[in-house]
Structure 1
């Protein structure tokens, strides 16, 4: 296969190693938009017929195609996922092959440590770098307070405070959207994701004002899309998310709350619930002012939510496998009866 220079789109040896001699007649491309009946890919843009089960493809995926149809999805280097909306425990794929997850919030009432922790845990579970972008810094009396809160989340978190309407300030994000790099923006509606996207990509997508009572806005971005940036890399903007359910995120939660996880290993009892048992190292750290009680509550909540949703998903998959196996065995018995044992 002759591969043109796709490195600026994020093509790396990780993907080229998945291309076999049998794929010589196919072309690699990156998914920039996903519709029901077709996909838009780069280089191009080129419209391709979407394969069955389009829900298994996401913006940011690398695929192989024959010029008309997508024939194979390459294994992703990273996947940002969440529990699907509603009571079910289905895994919803949001975006793929992202180097950095840009978590956008504002220096106002939208700022929430608990919500940021959710996004950071998901980024860490996916193997992405978490970047917290604090907008409306020009309107805050003390943006440093918000920056300090964001940086305290984890040593792995990078935090920036900026005015999203100032192109020079948004240009500080260029290192995360340079050639071969992909940044995905997530966060509530009205926090400035589209304004940032416009500055980084040169597009003119519409923006919406926010409500004064709760600093929230209407959805401006209605679908995920990957765009080239002025700095030479890629940016994926996403619609505001009302729900961000934890699912299969235990690794990220453990990384984010590494301080509590480490203290838990020092408790006297292995099954310590950290609720006042004698010899509890976690409670001792709270009394000493080393960690906040609110941080312990948030850790418990995320861990419990992730465990319940993940167990429910695995149980559902196990039931599906058992049903498929029973159906297969039943079909085999039916064929044997119709054929008769003497024909074996």
Structure 2
């Protein structure tokens, strides 16, 4: 049996050192998951695995279960005697988490042990700066490096204006432009994937994630679907899956996200909204709540045209949503207070 070079799948000294503490177990990486069934790759190939009863019993939340990208300890390294059993999950170096879809108060792990997050957004129908702000906040908080990948440039008739808009919110993140008609854009994207590194691709349905991944893999691994003249394809992924690239890196494909629910975070906002938070130091009072106090740095910045009211309202909304991610009633109460302050912002704008 041909041995697999696990270093191509991101296995490094850090994970090997931790794995050494588990005697008589074998290290593998989760490459896909569907309905409680895990597909893992290890030295001797790929096999199906399930979690142990102990791991299931000790799990306190969905994030305690294995996810695509996790390095796990298995009771076997081949499928000769049946499915493998996942006994342990090694500590994650990074994890992309969002609030679960709907009214659930739980978090949902999208991908783990990632080095970069490709945030895909099309330059035509899907273009939405407020959604991009959500993705960027979650990506920065994941401990991975976000890269904005703008797709379908050939369907955009105001490219420069939209690039300027993206640059105004994608602080600290590289922005790449691709088109389904040319190869050069995809070549630039591939340079961001290094051997042994892992990239997660996220975005809404239909933005061209499947097309992008097919180009990076070099073959039609993922299906795309014709839908209309203005949109060249709709993402058909139904599960998260990890693919090995010819250059040695790996890429994680994720289903299109209809909702981008915020989860409790700190570093994510410090990076994605550093422009907003930079005005906090200009407030007259150190405990300013940025609502009705005189000398508020935020409202002075808005009045002087240094800060967009939409940008400030987006910051407030996402901050509130993240702070009350586990309590819907408190979130709705805080949301009502925030809307009352919109009148003050509008009043400031009318005066100037």
Same fold judged by TM-score > 0.5? yes
| 1:328-343 to 2 correspondences below 5 Å | none
| 1:309-328 to 2 correspondences below 5 Å | 309-310=325-326
Q: Distance in 2 between matches of 1:108 and 1:95?
A: 27
Q: Which of 199, 207, 212 in structure 2 is aligned with 1:191?
A: 207
Q: Which of 110, 117, 131 in structure 2 is aligned with 1:94?
A: 110
Question: Are residues 1:234 and 2:250 paired?
Answer: yes
The Cα offsets for residues 178-200 of structure 1, whole Å up to 9 and x where unpaired, read as 21111111111111000111111
SS in 2 for 1:284: helix
Q: Distance in 2 between matches of 1:266 and 1:311?
A: 32
Q: Which of 307, 330, 352 in structure 2 is aligned with 1:291?
A: 307
Conserved 8 A contact 1:250-1:306: no
What is the RMSD computed on CA atoms of the aligned residues?
2.4
Q: Distance in 1 between matches of 2:155 and 2:232?
A: 15
Question: Are residues 1:65 and 2:71 paired?
Answer: no
SS in 2 for 1:69: strand
Conserved 8 A contact 1:184-1:238: yes
Q: Return 11-20 or 78-87, whichever deviates more.
A: 11-20
Kindly report structure 1 stretches of 4+ aligned residues shifted beyond 6 Å. none
SS in 2 for 1:253: helix
Aligned length: 309
Q: CA deviation at 1:312?
A: 6.8
Conserved 8 A contact 2:149-2:175: yes
Q: Distance in 2 between matches of 1:20 and 1:155?
A: 40
Distance 1:311 1:251, change over 3 A: farther
The Cα offsets for residues 243-294 of structure 1, whole Å up to 9 and x where unpaired, read as 1111112320122112222211331234433345311111111122211111
Q: CA deviation at 1:115?
A: 0.3
Q: 1:8 maps to what in 2?
A: 8
Q: Distance in 2 between matches of 1:266 and 1:37?
A: 51
Q: 1:319 maps to what in 2?
A: none
Which 5+ residue runs of structure 1 have no aligned equivalent? 314-344
Q: 1:45 maps to what in 2?
A: 46
Q: Return 116-125 or 254-263, whichever deviates more.
A: 254-263
| TM-score normalized with structure 2 length | 0.81
Q: 1:320 maps to what in 2?
A: none
SS in 2 for 1:104: strand
| 1:1-344 to 2 correspondences below 5 Å | 5-21=5-21, 23-43=22-42, 44-52=45-53, 53=56, 55=62, 56-67=65-76, 68-204=84-220, 205-210=222-227, 218-310=234-326
The Cα offsets for residues 23-55 of structure 1, whole Å up to 9 and x where unpaired, read as 242221111011335311124222223335495
